[in-house]
C-alpha cells in the first residue's frame, strides 16, 4: 500500500444506463479506509447497480471506480481479490453444507489451503454458525442463510466489504445480531451496506449516502443529515396554565412532570403541526414554562436505538 492514505473506494461521475433507462446518473463519492458507509434510497434508486459496478460484476457506462487504488476496469482481478460481496437476496447453493460452501468459496478467493481450515473456524465463530456448520444450506432458516452470506463475504478478510441489503427479511432479533456483526468490522474493514430503512443505516453507519433516481441527494453523518434535513425547530407553547404544583422560584427554566390540564396549546412552527411532533410539545399534559406563556427550544427527538 502506498504511504499517503488512499481511499478504500473512490467513485467519480459514475453513470450506468440500461437500454435507455439511466439507473445511475453521475454519482461521485469517496470512502476512507475503515469506515462503515450506508447507501440509503428507495427501491430502484440505483443502489444495487452501483454496488454491482463497484464489485466489477457489471461494467459502467461512463465514469471511474477504483477500489484500494485499483481501477475496476483495468484491474478487475485485483479489485475482486479486495472485495467481499454479498448480493441482494443472498443467493446460496441449496445442496451444499455450510462448511463445504465456505471451503469452496475460500479456494475461489485464493486463501491458501493450509490457512483455510482455521479461517473457516474463525468466521463460523464470528457469525455464530458453529451449530449449523454441517447442515445443508437449503434447510437453514433465513437468519442463518444471511449469516452464511456474511461469513462468506468476510472469509478472505478483504479490505472492502459490500453488502446489498444484509438485513432484508430478518426478524428484529436477527437484525440486531447482523448489525452487531457489521459493527464489529468497524476499523478493520471498509463496509458499504445498502438499505431502504433509515434507522437501520443510522445505527451502524459512520456516514450515509442518500440516493434517489440515480443521484446522490444528500450525504454526511447521520446526525448531520438529521440537522440538515429536519433543521432546528423552536416550539412556542402558549395557553392558560393550571398549576398542580406551586411554582418554584429557586429553579428557573422548564419544570418537568407538571400535572394538570393545560388549555389550548398553539404551535407557531408549521412543522410542529403534524400529530406525531405534537407529542414533543407535551400534548394534553403540557410541560410548560413556569410563568405562563414562554418559549421552549426543542429539538426533534431521535428514535431510540
Partner 1 sequence: MKHFFTILSHEVRMLLVSPSTYIAAVAFLSLMGFFFTGILEDYSKTPQDMSPASVFFLYYWFPVIFMVPLLTMKCLAEERRLGTIETLLTTPVTTTEVVLGKYAAAYLLYLVFWASTSGFFYILSHFAGEAHLIDPGPILGGYLFITVSGFFFIAIGVFASSLSKNQAVAGMLCVVMLAAFIFGGLYLAHAPWLEREALSPLKEAVMYADIFQHYEDFTRGIIDTREVLFYVSGTVISLIFSILSVEAKLLHS
**Whole-number minimum distance, CB 296 to partner 1, in Å?**
53
Q: Is 276 in the site for partner 1 (CB under 8 A)?
A: no
Q: Is 263 in the site for partner 1 (CB under 8 A)?
A: no
Q: Per CB under 8 A, which of residues 45..74 are in contact with partner 1?
A: 52, 55-59
Of 108-116, 121-129, 239-247, 256-264, the window that binds partner 1 (rule: CB under 8 A) is 108-116
Of 95-103, 175-183, 246-254, 285-293, the window that binds partner 1 (rule: CB under 8 A) is 95-103
User: Among 6, 13, 30, 93, which residue interacts with partner 1 (rule: CB under 8 A)?
Assistant: 93
Q: Is 94 in the site for partner 1 (CB under 8 A)?
A: yes
User: Among 28, 62, 74, 108, which residue interacts with partner 1 (rule: CB under 8 A)?
Assistant: 108
Q: Per CB under 8 A, which of residues 11..40 are in contact with partner 1?
A: 18-19
**Whole-number minimum distance, CB 131 to partner 1, in Å?**
22
User: Among 2, 3, 21, 110, which residue interacts with partner 1 (rule: CB under 8 A)?
Assistant: 110
DSSP string, the chain: --SSPPPSEEEEEEEEEETTEEEEEEEEEEE-TT-EEEEE--TTSSHHHHHHHHTTSS--SEEEEEETTEETTT-HHHHHHHEEEE-TT----TTSBHHHHHHHHHHHTT--HHHHHHHHHHHHHHTT-GGGTTSBGGGS-HHHHHHHHHHHHHTT--SEEEESSTTTT--HHHHHHHHHHHHTTTTTSEEEEEES-HHHHHHH-SEEEEEETTEEEEEE-HHHHHHHHH---EEEE------SS---SSS-SB-TT--S--------SGGGGSHHHHHHHTTTS---BTTSSEEEE-PPPPPP-
User: Among 109, 196, 227, 289, which residue interacts with partner 1 (rule: CB under 8 A)?
Assistant: 109
Q: Which residues bind partner 1 (CB under 8 A)?
A: 18-19, 52, 55-59, 77, 80-81, 83, 85-87, 89, 91-96, 100, 104-105, 107-110, 152
Amino acid at each position: 500500500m502506498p504511504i499517503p492514505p488512499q481511499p478504500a473506494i473512490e467513485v467519480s461521475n459514475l453513470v450506468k444506463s440500461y437500454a435507455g433507462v439511466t439507473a445511475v446518473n453521475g454519482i461521485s463519492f469517496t470512502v476512507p479506509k475503515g469506515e462503515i458507509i450506508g447507501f440509503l434510497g428507495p427501491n430502484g434508486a440505483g443502489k444495487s447497480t452501483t454496488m454491482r459496478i463497484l464489485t466489477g460484476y457489471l461494467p459502467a457506462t461512463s465514469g471511474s471506480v477504483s477500489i484500494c487504488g485499483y481501477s475496476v476496469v483495468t484491474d478487475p482481478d485485483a479489485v475482486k481479490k479486495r472485495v467481499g460481496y454479498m448480493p441482494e437476496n443472498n443467493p446460496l447453493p441449496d445442496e451444499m453444507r455450510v462448511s463445504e460452501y465456505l471451503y469452496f468459496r475460500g479456494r475461489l478467493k485464493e486463501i491458501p489451503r493450509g490457512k483455510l481450515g482455521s479461517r473457516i473456524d474463525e468466521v463460523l465463530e464470528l457469525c455464530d454458525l458453529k451449530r449449523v456448520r454441517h447442515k445443508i444450506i437449503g434447510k437453514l432458516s433465513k437468519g442463518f442463510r444471511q449469516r452464511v452470506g456474511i461469513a462468506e463475504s468476510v472469509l478472505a478478510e478483504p479490505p472492502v466489504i459490500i453488502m446489498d441489503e444484509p438485513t432484508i427479511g430478518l426478524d428484529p432479533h436477527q437484525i440486531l445480531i447482523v448489525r452487531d456483526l457489521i459493527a464489529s468490522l468497524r476499523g478493520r474493514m471498509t463496509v458499504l451496506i445498502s438499505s431502504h430503512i433509515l434507522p437501520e443505516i443510522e445505527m451502524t453507519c459512520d456516514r450515509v449516502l442518500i440516493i434517489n433516481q440515480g443521484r446522490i441527494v444528500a450525504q454526511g453523518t447521520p446526525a448531520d443529515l438529521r440537522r440538515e434535513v429536519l433543521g432546528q425547530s423552536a416550539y412556542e407553547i402558549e395557553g392558560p396554565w393550571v398549576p398542580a404544583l406551586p411554582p418554584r422560584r429557586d429553579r428557573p427554566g422548564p419544570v418537568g412532570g407538571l400535572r394538570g390540564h393545560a388549555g389550548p396549546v398553539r404551535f407557531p412552527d408549521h412543522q410542529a403541526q403534524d400529530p406525531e411532533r405534537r407529542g414533543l410539545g407535551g400534548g394534553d399534559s403540557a410541560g410548560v414554562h413556569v410563568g405562563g406563556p414562554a418559549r421552549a427550544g426543542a429539538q426533534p427527538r431521535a428514535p431510540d436505538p
